[in-house]
Amino acid sequence: MAVLRSILALLAAAGILLAPPSGLFGTTPRAGALPYVVGQLLVAAPTMPDPRFARTVIYMVDHTAEGAFGLVVNRPLGAGPLDKLIKGFGIDPGQATGEVVLHYGGPVDSGGLFVLHSTDWKGPATPAALGPLAMTADTEVFRAIAEGGGPKRRLVLVGYAGWGPGQLEREMARKDWLTAPADPDLVFDDDVATKWERASALAGITL
């Protein structure tokens, strides 16, 4: 809870949601463009050499020749009141109730807040979904939630996982990562303790 309170305080002081890195989101044609990984799960191999990504499951929002952008979906930081998070952005929380679980999205841009969500909702600043899920980095998603709308399923994440040109391809060639279909039920469920194991099974990893 101490970690969550400090992050909420930081976000409330900033009062903004940061945009995703430039250069992604559809800048490169993907027809037959393997090994680009978009709209899939990136699953850390048991032999992952980078401790920051050990046993992580990442939803890949985009991947082009310019780089890759994903969000870790199995590292919750803590929970806090949803209305306080919304109020921290200067938005009337309305009838918003319950708690929000804040997740660690990755080691890049620890001040950036992102919402990974189902595609039943789309805001003006939501990029076109390149897979079964969408991502929004704009306060409009919280305004919609406060008004009783917004996406039915969502993860709120701080930071993201990012790779430069060719970096992820090299890591995949070393077998640091495997890929699996992005099952929304796995992404959004609360069984965090087994999420890596279940994603590994989908990726064909025998543990």
Strand pairing class (76-81; 67-72): unpaired
CA distance 18 to 64: 21
Amino acid at 37: V
Q: Are 151 and 121 within 8 A, CB to CB?
A: yes
Non-local CB neighbours of 46 within 8 Å, separated by 6+ positions: 200, 205, 207
Q: What is residue 207's predicted lDDT score, i.e. its pLDDT?
A: 65
- What number of residues does the chain have? 207
Q: What is the pTM of this model?
A: 0.84
Domains and CATH numbers, the chain: 2-19+37-202 (3.40.1740.10)
Taking only the tens place, the pLDDT of each residue in 24-68 is 444 444 444 446 899 999 999 999 999 999 999 999 999 988 899
CA distance 199 to 73: 11
**Structure tokens belonging to residue 116:** 């990974």
Q: What is residue 167's predicted lDDT score, i.e. its pLDDT?
A: 94
Torsion of CA 30, 154, 86, 18, to 10 degrees: -20
Taking only the tens place, the pLDDT of each residue in 180-190 is 999 999 999 99
Q: What is residue 23's predicted lDDT score, i.e. its pLDDT?
A: 47
The DSSP-derived string for the chain is -HHHHHHHHHHHHH---PPPPTT-SSSS--TT-TT---SEEEEE-TT---GGGTT-EEEEEEEETTEEEEEE-S-EEEEEEHHHHHHTTT---TT--SEEEEEE--SEEEEEEEEEEETT---TTPPPPSSSEEEE-STHHHHHHHTT-S-SSEEEEEEEEEE-TTHHHHHHHTTSEEEEE--HHHHHSS-GGGHHHHHHHHTT---
Over its length of 207 residues, how does the chain's per-residue pLDDT go in tens digits?
A: 443 444 445 444 444 444 445 444 444 444 444 468 999 999 999 999 999 999 999 999 999 888 999 999 999 999 888 888 888 778 888 878 888 899 999 998 877 889 999 999 999 888 888 899 999 988 888 888 888 889 999 999 999 999 999 999 999 999 999 999 999 999 999 999 999 999 999 998 776
The DSSP-derived string for 151-191 is -SSEEEEEEEEEE-TTHHHHHHHTTSEEEEE--HHHHHSS-
